[in-house]
Amino acid sequence: MPYPHIPNISVGNRIIDSEHKKMFDIIHRIQRSITANDCAAIADDFKLLEDFARACFSVEEEIARAVGFDFTLHNLAHQNLLKKYQQLGDELAARNGSWSDGEGKAYANLLNKWLMRHLEHESRPLMCVLDTYFYDFKPT
């Protein structure tokens, strides 16, 4: 599933939105690996997602701090999202490819669902602050 083009997932900053798009691209890659029951690729893809998410969250924190946003609660939301991804990756590894097509689709959909929820709900306070800045704002 490619990056969902839904207006309410933009947080109002080009850099952060670009990072989120890349996360959706990695999730799409994981979804293909789940569908193919390619356990080696799934492990590699989840590692890529975790590493990229950490880097993305760091960039987001830098921008949030530059605009005076208290990042404490948002950081907890990031840690929760990362924990969910890690748990799902561990569960898939433990199952070693033994899931039905329906279960595979359900696993794959969780990845998108969690990131979409984060963007639509948990990122709203940050979005309100970023809306007062130009979309191309970069911290100095």
Q: What is the pLDDT of residues 91-140, one digit of tens each?
A: 999 999 899 989 999 998 999 999 999 999 999 999 999 999 999 999 98
Q: What per-residue confidence (pLDDT) applies to 108?
A: 87
Return the ∠ at Cα 17 (arms to 66 and 50), rounded to 5°: 90
Amino acid 140: pLDDT:
84
Residue 7 has pLDDT above 60, yes or no: no
**Tell me, what's the pLDDT at 1?**
44
pTM: 0.91
Classify domain 12-130 by CATH number.
Answer: 1.20.120.50
SS (H, E, C) the chain: CCCCCCHHHCCCCHHHHHHHHHHHHHHHHHHHHHHCCCHHHHHHHHHHHHHHHHHHHHHHHHHHHHCCCCCHHHHHHHHHHHHHHHHHHHHHHHHCCCCCHHHHHHHHHHHHHHHHHHHHHHCHHHHHHHCCCCCCCCCC
The confidence score (pLDDT) of residue 2 equals 47
pLDDT at 9: 79
